[in-house]
Every structure is written in C-alpha cells, then in structure tokens.
Amino acid sequence: MELFDKKTASEVASKLLDIQAIRLQPEKPFTWASGWKSPIYCDNRLSLSYPEVRTFIKENLVNAIMKIFPEVEAIAGVATAGIPQGALIADQLKLPFVYVRSKAKGHGMENMIEGKVIPGQKVVVVEDLVSTGGSSLKAVQDLRNAGFEVLGMVAIFTYGFETAKVNFEEAKVKLICLSDYSAMLPQALANDYIDDQTLASLVEWRKDPSNWTGV
C-alpha cells in the first residue's frame, strides 16, 4: 500500500480534521467492533456534506486512478461508504459503475454485485477507509469471482496497519491511498488539535493498537 503523493496526503488529512471526519480523543478512546480501544475515529462520509472537500477528494482519487491505473474500464464501490465516492468518480471519468454488497441481497435477484457485470472488464475498486483490509479484500474477491479483472484499489484514508499491508500483498492487490495516519499526525499537531503529550500517545497506539489503553 502506498500514498498517492505526500503533499496530497497532508492536504487531505488537514481537510478531514477540519470537518471532524477524523476525530482524535485519546483521553476518551473509542471502542471498535474488534474490541480495540482507539484514540481515532474516521468517518469520511462526512466529506460528502462539504462540497469543497468532496470535490477535492474526488479529483485526487480520479488523478490517482488515471495515473496508476490508466487502463481502467469500470469503477466499483464497496458498500456502503465506497458507493457515493465511486459513483462520483465514475461520473467524472464517464465510466460504468457497480457496487459490491457486504452480503448477497436476500430477495429478488439475490445480487452480491449491483450493476452490469461484464467478465474480463478491468475495474478499480473505491473505498473510503482501510483498516485491516478484511472487508475491502472480500469485495475484491467477490468481483474476481464474478469475472472482473481487478487492477487495484484507491481509498481516502488508511491507518497503515502492518496487517493490512500483508493482507493486500497476499491478495495481490495494489492499494493507493490519498492520506494515512502518519501523514495526519503532524497536521493535527500543527493545527492545534493535539499537543506533544497527546502526539506521543497517538504514536504508541499506532505501534500496538490491540494493547493500547489510552493516555
């Protein structure tokens, strides 16, 4: 997994912090579904409510796709947060769009993938956030099972966990992110969202999130 470029990473992180899509509160940690205590909560869906931020993210995701995956023929969004981002990108690029459900629809056609499935079509997957990569890579496998050729994935933000890096490498999926945890920390400090003591705690969480207990 890699960043599109460092300047964009800093700008995206700053914008996400400004609109509170990224919230930092190590003194009152969030609890993830995994049970981990976390000083950060990232909800990039909030960016959709801010046209300037939404456009900035869309344009940079489009730039990343055109530079790194120029042979793309379709865009696939991962349900649910990857759907609006993917649709915006597909519209900008004038490309077909599909989205991947977390599980097959329980009635009607019982689809896992919504939209026109064309075996062999070269697709780029769009995610809003990557943590361990589990749900993202499940979507990739569902697309492959349907016959798509997955060129890679783009995402707005990643925590940069080593387990995610390993998972994407094993699945042979190239992941390009606009920003990540390491790029966000100096922006948070520079914009006075955190102080030096809080920064130290946030760095420790990133080293061992499963055993981190807070400030």
27 assigned to a ligand binding site: no
Q: Flag whether 130 is marked binding.
A: yes
Rounded Cα gap, residues 88 and 85, in angstroms = 5
214 belongs to an annotated ligand binding site: no
Q: Is 107 annotated as a binding residue?
A: yes
Q: Is 128 annotated as a binding residue?
A: yes
105 annotated to a ligand binding site: yes
Written as six digits, the tokens of 113 are 């993938």
**Residue 201 assigned to a binding site:** no
For every residue of 134-190, DSSP letters joined together read HHHHHHHHHHHHTT-EEEEEEEEEE---HHHHHHHHHTT--EEEEEEHHHHHHHHHH
Angle at 201 between CA 198 and CA 207, to 5 degrees: 145
17 annotated to a ligand binding site:
no
Query: Is 11 labelled as part of a ligand binding site?
Result: no
> What is the CB neighbour count within 10 angstroms for residue 99?
23
**Residue 133, annotated as binding a ligand:** yes
Binding-site annotation, residues for 5-phospho-alpha-D-ribose 1-diphosphate: 101, 105, 107, 127-135
Binding-site annotation, residues: 101, 105, 107, 127-135
